[in-house]
Amino acid sequence: MQRLMIADGSDIVRTVGKRILSELGFLVIEADTAREAATRCNAELPNFLIVDAALEGALELIGTIRAMPNGKSIRIFYCVIEADLKKMMAGKRAGADDFLLKPFDRKILTAVFSALAQAA
């Protein structure tokens, strides 16, 4: 089973994301701070990571994950509220692979992650 972490300060976003992604076959781990996400990743790296751009320390978290042993193997999605090119480029420079627009819903998450869940 593919492991996926959602690092987002919003309980609602994490709960909705976890419900949808669990139904797709992911083992979903949650973190409400960058520090908690880094600690959990240090213990066991997920296959995928969704990082909210509004999370305090989001860019540093991405850099920290990339610096970990096998940290380059994680597919990181940087989650932005709007297609803000400056924010997206900062995420890309920090090491994000892809972007998600918030608010996300079942349709968006299914379109992005259903094939990834089946690739296990």
For 34, the 3-state DSSP assignment is helix
Q: 33: which DSSP letter?
A: S
What is the pLDDT tens value at each position of the chain, 120 positions in all? 899 999 999 999 999 999 999 999 999 999 999 999 999 999 999 999 999 999 999 999 999 999 999 999 999 999 998 878 888 899 999 999 999 988 888 998 999 998 887 765
The model carries a pTM of 0.94
